[in-house]
Amino acid sequence: MQSGLELLSADLILRLAVGFSVGGLIGLERQKKQEHDRTIGVRSFGLHSLLGTLAAYSFHVSGNPIVLIYATAISIMIVGVYLYQKIIRSMRKGMTTSIVFAMSYVRGTLVGIDMPPEGQLLGTLQILAMTVSFMVFLVLGFKQELSTALAGVTHDEMISAAELGVVILFFWPLIPQTVPAPGLPNGFPIFTTYLLVVILLSISFVNYILVKKYKDRGEYFFGFFGGFANSEATVTSLTENYVKTERKKVGLTSVSTIFANLAMVIRNGVLVIILDPTLSIFRYYLIPFGILFVVGVFRFIYEHRNRDVDRKQELDAKLVSPFEFGAALRFALVFGAILYVSLVAQELASDVGFLAAATIGGLVNAGAVVTTAAIAYNQGAGSISLVTAAYAVIIATTMAVMNKIIFVYQADRDTKLVKVIARDALLMASGVIIYLLLIFTGAIQGI
């Protein structure tokens, strides 16, 4: 039992405010979209969640469940009456408001029953209630935008994504942390590889949807967001489109290729941050990113002045859904193979072998090399030095920029575009090489 003074504490005031807010936030969104006067809004949602907070807190304080039982029964009655009024009497369609209204009571209960540890303002369950409330607010608030984005996804693509999602969830608890592998005394990090493949596929799928839906926004948009999904396939599509338009947009295609490379560089940076929360590698990675960004902006400004651009032309995108089972399997195999070769090279030839593998692997899949470097440095208890890890990340990313020359040449043997792409890639690479030499000579110790 707690005293009356404790019941009037700041904790209770904060608890009541949070209890009302986790419901009131959703009510605010519902009220903004009301189509008639009887739509429940901020007050109804907020008071409903506050009912749960008061009932759960009284149960925690007194140990008597009678108030909680009574409040739950009242909540069920209120939701039932609302459903009857909406569906039977008013004959309106949709269950969304009814569901989130019922959820508001549950969120309020979580706020009321949780007791934060000493020194903390909010407990785990309270944070959970606030997080769920915010997520529901986003889902409801951006319903139209989400529907518009998904409208461009075919039924088969959604089925493929759902099937792969089931496979991912099924194997998640079954995959061990490591498995025995020749040349790796500590085994191959199969679970980390699996997790990273899932993350990369998810990022690629989101950007695949954006590209497919908004590919008529122009080459710049397509190049940047397509680069997150697959920079090589994006550059191939850009080059093929350049050929179909009678090779009239060299500057536009070259800048769009830079945007694809920029997206790839950002994606690699996200991988580094995820695998190395200390940001030690990322600090070295900022300079190459800055070089690429500055060159891209410079080229954009220069080419934009030519105004040879029709940005509303729809591109014939050749991207394949990354959640298609065959494409996902090929990606996982290539990713795992490069990761394995890089780890073996590091075991056999130390830093030199690792950097050699990074150079070759960057031409095929820079993400795998970036992953290997971050794992070997951070999670591998420093099996490679910080400078070596930074070298590997930067070299692999640079090689992934350079490989666009190969893909452009494969799609168009005419040398006009290839020369421009090669010039841009070499310009970026020269700046990165200078930066690497500064690290090697000791001129740069940190950032």
Contact between residue 315 and residue 238 where contact means Cβ atoms under 8 Å apart: yes
| pLDDT range class, residue 221, cuts 50, 70, 90 | confident
pLDDT value, residue 148: 60
| pLDDT range class, residue 3, cuts 50, 70, 90 | very low
Contact between residue 32 and residue 45 where contact means Cβ atoms under 8 Å apart: no
More confident residue, 152 or 389: 389
Report which of 313, 312, 332, 314 is spatially closest to residue 322, judged by C-alpha positions: 332
289-324 pLDDT, tens digit per residue, is 888 778 777 877 776 666 554 444 555 555 566 666
pLDDT value, residue 5: 45
Distance CA 199, CA 261 (A): 19
86-134 pLDDT, tens digit per residue, is 776 666 666 777 888 888 999 999 999 888 877 677 788 888 888 888 8
pLDDT value, residue 128: 84
Q: CA angle, corner 152, sides to 146 and 156, nearest 5?
A: 110
Contact between residue 248 and residue 354 where contact means Cβ atoms under 8 Å apart: no
Q: Work out the end-to-end distance of the chain between its first and last CA atoms, rounded to an integer number of angstroms.
A: 56
Determine which of 149-158, 198-207, 291-300, 354-363 has the lowest per-residue pLDDT on average.
149-158
Which 8-state DSSP code applies to residue 376? I
Q: What is the dihedral of CA 390, 392, 397, 401, to 10 degrees?
A: 130
Contact between residue 361 and residue 342 where contact means Cβ atoms under 8 Å apart: yes
316-354 pLDDT, tens digit per residue, is 555 566 666 666 777 778 878 887 887 787 777 677 888
**What's at 340, amino acid-wise?**
Y
Whether 234 shows a pLDDT value over 90: the answer reads no
A 10 A CB-CB count for 321 gives 23
pLDDT value, residue 318: 55
Which 8-state DSSP code applies to residue 206? H
pLDDT (average), residues 208-228: 70
| pLDDT range class, residue 380, cuts 50, 70, 90 | low
pLDDT value, residue 64: 87
Distance CA 379, CA 422 (A): 37
pLDDT value, residue 49: 92
236-247 pLDDT, tens digit per residue, is 878 887 887 777
| pLDDT range class, residue 1, cuts 50, 70, 90 | very low
Q: Where are the beta strands (DSSP E) in 275-337?
A: none
Question: What single string gives the DSSP state of each residue in 131-192?
Answer: HHHHHHHHHHHTHHHHHHHHTTS-HHHHHHHHHHHHHHHHHGGG--S-EEETTEEEEE-HHH
Residue spans per domain, the chain: 4-141, 150-441
252-288 pLDDT, tens digit per residue, is 788 888 888 888 888 888 888 887 888 888 888 888 8
pLDDT (average), residues 136-158: 65
pLDDT value, residue 424: 85
Distance CA 75, CA 112 (A): 15
pLDDT value, residue 381: 47
6-48 pLDDT, tens digit per residue, is 445 777 888 889 889 988 888 887 776 665 545 678 888 989 9
Report the mean per-residue pLDDT for the chain: 77
pLDDT value, residue 48: 92
A 10 A CB-CB count for 177 gives 9
Residue 181 sits at φ, ψ, to 5 deg, of -150, 140
Residue 179 sits at φ, ψ, to 5 deg, of -130, 150
A 10 A CB-CB count for 129 gives 30
Contact between residue 108 and residue 22 where contact means Cβ atoms under 8 Å apart: yes
